[in-house]
């Protein structure tokens, strides 16, 4: 899918004018500031090459691309930036690689699926007509929206961890509940880690744009503000990691307590059964001079003695509170 976004007198038409390109003639008639390619076909890449003189590499969104090749500038002025953007849909959090090419004041974005950040920027541009002035503004606003999207997801993580905390810190947490809590904590930890990676990648991209001296004074200041926002997000992710570790340790601690209760019951039972075992062993020796062997009440006497020897330790342990 190929979409173009055009400028009109320094602002996007009608807030945001989006045109889906279906033919090469449609593309030839447009004067875009941003060309967005979602899973582009070879034919659509050919249209871009013929219209703008730009060749899009086949592996441009390859996940195995070397880190050193993610930010660079070609001799013909092409500026290449590859960034990861977060998607958190239906509990399936993932980072999606997006390739940006800035060439002749036109921004080209190539990705394999639609992204929440891109939808957010389109919505903002409709509400604020003067939001975008050139292609570099589009790129900066995307990174700004990415930081805000990450912040929103972090708030969601905090709310979910608060719900988990209420379950963990209540009394009598069962092993089944502890298992559910651990699974929930693991999901939030994974999402928090993805956000950390996402904002780190955004920081690198914005820093590269600042070092390349491609930004005007206003855009440079906006970049600095984005970096400050990212720094605050870094601090928040670190706080959430600490909270996750605390909840994880607390949950594992409750599991250990439940296991210790079971072990304690077995230990008490083992100790309580030692005296009757000793009594049975004594009367099982069958010595000739044992007076109880010839007595009619010897057998019931031994049984009563063993029952008393079992009851006595349990009564003692209960008074000590060791059975709770």
| Rg from Cα positions in the chain | 35
Q: Is 295 left (phi over 0), alpha (psi -120 to 50) or beta?
A: beta
Contact status, residue 82 vs residue 96, Cβ threshold 8 Å: no
Collapsed DSSP state (helix, strand, coil) of residue 272: helix
* Calpha distance 29→144 (Å, rounded): 31
* Calpha distance 48→34 (Å, rounded): 12
Contact status, residue 150 vs residue 86, Cβ threshold 8 Å: yes
The first and second tokens of residue 176, run together, are: 């089944």
Question: How high is the pLDDT of residue 129?
Answer: 67
Question: How high is the pLDDT of residue 91?
Answer: 64
The CA-CA-CA angle for residues 24, 104, 148, to 5°, reads 95
Contact status, residue 96 vs residue 85, Cβ threshold 8 Å: yes
Alpha helices, DSSP H only, in the chain? Answer: 24-29, 42-52, 116-127, 135-168, 175-211, 217-272, 274-283, 298-320
Which is it for the CA torsion 194, 195, 198, 199, positive or negative?
Answer: negative
The first and second tokens of residue 238, run together, are: 């670190």
The first and second tokens of residue 9, run together, are: 């007198």
Which is it for the CA torsion 184, 187, 190, 191, positive or negative?
Answer: negative
The first and second tokens of residue 314, run together, are: 């349990």
Measured CA distances, 105 to 5, 175, 236, 323 (Å): 13, 60, 36, 77
The pLDDT profile of the chain, 324 residues, written as one tens digit per residue, is 788 887 765 444 444 566 777 778 877 877 888 888 888 888 888 888 888 888 887 777 666 555 556 778 777 778 888 888 888 876 678 888 888 888 888 889 888 888 888 888 887 777 776 677 788 888 898 999 999 889 998 998 898 888 888 887 776 777 777 788 888 888 888 888 889 988 888 898 888 888 887 888 888 999 999 999 999 998 899 998 898 888 888 888 777 777 777 777 777 777 777 888 877 877 777 666 777 767 777 778 788 888 888 788 778 777 777 666
Task: Record the pTM.
Answer: 0.75
Cβ neighbours of residue 291 closer than 8 Å, sequence gap 6 or more: none
Question: How high is the pLDDT of residue 8?
Answer: 63
Collapsed DSSP state (helix, strand, coil) of residue 165: helix
Give one DSSP letter per residue of 73-118, joined into a string: E-TTS-EEEEEEEEEEETTEEEEEEEEEEEETTEEEEEESS--HHH
Question: Comparing C-alpha atoms, which of 56, 90, 84, 91 is closest to residue 70?
Answer: 84
| Residue 159 C-alpha from the chain's centroid | 14
DSSP state, residue 215: S
């Amino acid at each position: 899918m190929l979409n173009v976004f055009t400028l009109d007198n320094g602002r996007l038409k009608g807030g945001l004018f989006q045109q889906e390109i279906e033919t090469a003639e449609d593309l030839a008639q447009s004067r875009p500031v941003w060309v967005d390619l979602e899973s582009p076909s070879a034919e659509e890449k050919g249209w871009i090459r013929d219209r703008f003189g730009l060749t899009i590499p086949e592996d441009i969104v390859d996940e195995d691309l070397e880190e050193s090749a993610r930010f660079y500038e070609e001799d013909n002025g092409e500026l290449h930036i590859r960034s990861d953007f977060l998607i958190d849909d239906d509990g399936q959090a993932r980072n999606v690689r997006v390739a940006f090419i800035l060439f002749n004041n036109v921004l080209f974005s190539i990705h394999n699926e639609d992204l929440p950040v891109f939808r957010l920027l389109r919505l903002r541009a409709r509400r604020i007509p003067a939001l975008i002035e050139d292609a570099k503004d589009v790129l900066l606003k995307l990174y700004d929206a990415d930081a805000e999207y990450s912040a929103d997801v972090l708030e969601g993580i905090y709310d979910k961890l608060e719900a988990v905390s209420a379950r963990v810190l209540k009394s009598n947490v069962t092993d089944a509940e502890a298992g559910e809590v651990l699974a929930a904590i693991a999901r939030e930890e994974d999402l928090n880690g993805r956000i950390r990676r996402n904002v780190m990648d955004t920081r690198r991209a914005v820093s590269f744009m600042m070092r390349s001296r491609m930004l005007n004074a206003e855009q440079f200041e906006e970049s600095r503000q984005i970096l400050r926002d990212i720094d605050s997000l870094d601090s928040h992710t670190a706080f959430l990691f600490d909270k996750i570790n605390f909840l994880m340790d607390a949950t594992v601690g409750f599991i250990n307590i439940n296991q210790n209760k079971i072990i304690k019951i077995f230990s008490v039972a083992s100790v309580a059964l030692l005296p009757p075992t000793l009594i049975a062993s004594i009367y099982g020796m069958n010595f000739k001079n044992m007076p109880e062997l010839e007595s009619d009440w010897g057998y019931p006497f031994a049984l009563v003695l063993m029952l008393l020897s079992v009851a006595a330790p349990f009564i003692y342990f209960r008074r000590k509170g060791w059975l709770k």
